[in-house]
Amino acid sequence: MTSATTPSGARRPPTPRRRVAAVAGVAATAVALGLAELVAGLLPRGRSLVLAVGDVVVDRVPGWLERAAIAVLGTADKPVLVVGVLVVSAAVGAALGVLARRRFVLAALGLTGFAVVGVVAALADERTTPWVAVVCGLLGAVAGVAVLRVLLDAAAGPVPRAGSAPPRGVDAGSAPPRGVDAGSAPPRGVDVGRRPFLTLVAVAAVVAASTAVAGRWLAASDRVERIRAALRLPRPARPAPPVPAGAALAVPGLTPLFVPNDDFYRIDTALTVPQVDPGTWMLEVRGMVDRPFSLSYDELLAMPHVEADVTLACVSNEVGGGLVGNARWQGVPLGALLERAGVRDGATQLLGRSVDGFTAGFPVALALGTQDALVAVGMNGEPLPAAHGFPARLVVPGLYGYVSATKWLSAIELTTFEDEVGYWIPRGWARDGPVKTQSRIDVPAAASTVRPGVRPVAGVAWAPTRGIERVEVRVDDGPWVEARLADSLDVDCWRQWVLEWDAAPGRHVLTVRATDGTGEPQTDERTPVAPDGASGHHSVEVLVEG
């Protein structure tokens, strides 16, 4: 018998090489740190152990060294510090991995001690919930030890069976054995355990990176949400006119006149909602202007605000779809900012840029001479929710969101349509995106069953900037019957409507069409959403019980 046996007589895998063990140690440490980040992000008032250690280092470092570091590194001192903590962690992990080859228990204790350092550093910060710091360290240590065990076992390869080929380094020169096992025996010189080991290291790396990123993102969103929750919007200098009493109909199931923020549709290209700190955020107004300038969030709040009730629609909204909503927006008229900047002759496009790289552009003329095209900071009476563009976004009545409604706005750039194009334009969507007149049946719901008798048919219709003048409903192939319109809130807003329908038993198709404020009826021609928005009439089929 050539391979080692344990006291119980089972074969023990050979010891992995130092370099392999070091990699295992680094991977285990990375998973431990990543998991600690995730737990810190998930639990209340958690603290990143890496950042906590970094903070302690800053506190302990002699003043002259700190000043020298800031002098040399400038604002990069923080990232350099974090990288430093990570590099030291990796070195410690590598050493523990090597140690773990022969003294696993010692290495496990070392990893635990390493976690304790992080926990102690976190406890030094009074913003941390103590038990959360302990849980972070504990889970990190347990995960690190477990990963180290699994990786070392994988590095050692499967326990060799009698007659199978030995791992490299042991008897590598002998000929592969013949017999029943010969076909499955790896060729000479191939490292038996290596492939699963590398796969597991890759898995550990992915787990470490994704938990760390998720944890940091959660921590950032929690922080930004707390800042946002503490904000108070200024009283608008020009509040929206009072909502007419008859603007909202009381029909169960009908979409509310103002869609609550939590129910408002959300469309964007961001994988995760950008978490923008209003304390460091700046809005630039630049490009073809005489006096470019930047505004902080506080400066934006200090300017005179207006309120505008505007229906926002997505170009990807199918006929009858839900990618449309009405809200009360508060902010600074774009016109005021453009006046301050002095738009140069020849500037034709206003391009909004987002912190996430998204861009959307529309004719400059649409921003001038109206109070309702806004840099919005408020939505339905509260600061913009993060998902809807906090701290600021654009809202322009009459345009689909993809050409106008840039969220997490970072710059307003005056340019031309020749020089710049918005994000979606090269991707097959029209350069101009005026919102098409549309109407939708909310009640009764499609494919629902209703009792016979007089029943409301109700919904919303919108043609922002033009307003809605008439809505008609048709039952099956019958005549168009005019519905009762709720009072108009604003030409930029959708309008509710209702028709009392005498529902006779059987299957029926209800169809709606709207006419905008210019007298133009909604086309019945069906077009797809691309390239410039769906058109056609919305129909629902319902069953009236017999």
The residues of the shown chain that bind ligand MTE, judged by CB under 6 A, are 264-270, 312, 314, 354, 356, 358, 388, 401-402, 405-408
CA 14 to chain centre: 47
Which of residues 268 and 469 has its CB atom nearest to ligand MTE in the complex?
268
| Site map 265..294 versus Mo ion, x via CB under 5 A | --x---------------------------
What is the nearest approach in angstroms of ligand MTE to the Cβ of residue 376?
10
Q: Locate tokens 């991995």: which residue?
A: 97
The site partner of 269 among Mo ion, ligand MTE, none (C-beta below 5 to 8 Å per kind) is: ligand MTE
139: its two tokens: 């889970």
The site partner of 497 among ligand MTE, Mo ion, none (C-beta below 5 to 8 Å per kind) is: none
Residue 387 sits in the site that holds Mo ion (CB under 5 A): no
Residue 61 sits in the site that holds Mo ion (CB under 5 A): no
CA gyration radius for the chain? 32
Instruction: Give the interface segment with Mo ion, choosing from 32-40, 237-245, 380-388, 394-402 (CB under 5 A).
Output: 394-402
Give the separation between CA 432 and CA 6, rounded to whole angstroms: 76
Contact 422, 402 (CB under 8 A): yes
What is the nearest approach in angstroms of ligand MTE to the Cβ of residue 80?
30
CA atoms within 13 A on the CB side of 330: 25
Which of residues 188 and 427 has its CB atom nearest to ligand MTE in the complex?
427
Closest residue by beta carbon to Mo ion: 314
What is the nearest approach in angstroms of ligand MTE to the Cβ of residue 395?
9
Task: Give how many residues touch Mo ion by CB under 5 A.
Answer: 4
What is the nearest approach in angstroms of Mo ion to the Cβ of residue 430?
12
Residue 533 sits in the site that holds Mo ion (CB under 5 A): no
Amino acid letter, 439:
S
Contact 142, 35 (CB under 8 A): no
The site partner of 265 among Mo ion, ligand MTE, none (C-beta below 5 to 8 Å per kind) is: ligand MTE
- The residue within the footprint of Mo ion, chosen from 197, 217, 358, 402 (CB under 5 A), is 402
Task: Produce one character per residue of 32-60: b if its CB has 16 or more CB atoms within 10 Å, e if not.
Answer: bbbbbbbbbbbbeebbbbbbbbbbbeeee
Which of residues 101 and 407 has its CB atom nearest to ligand MTE in the complex?
407
Would you say how long the chain is, in residues? Answer: 546
10 Å CB burial of residue 525 (0-12, 13-18, 19+) is exposed
Sheet holding 449-450, edge to edge: 449-450, 538-544, 506-516, 468-475, 481-482
Residue 484's nearest CA partner among 492, 473, 494 is 473
The site partner of 358 among ligand MTE, Mo ion, none (C-beta below 5 to 8 Å per kind) is: ligand MTE
How far, CA to CA in Å, does 199 sit from each of 27, 154, 191, 242?
Answer: 12, 10, 14, 64
What is the nearest approach in angstroms of ligand MTE to the Cβ of residue 81?
31
- The residue within the footprint of Mo ion, chosen from 110, 352, 401, 444 (CB under 5 A), is 401
Binding site residues, Mo ion, CB under 5 A: 267, 314, 401-402
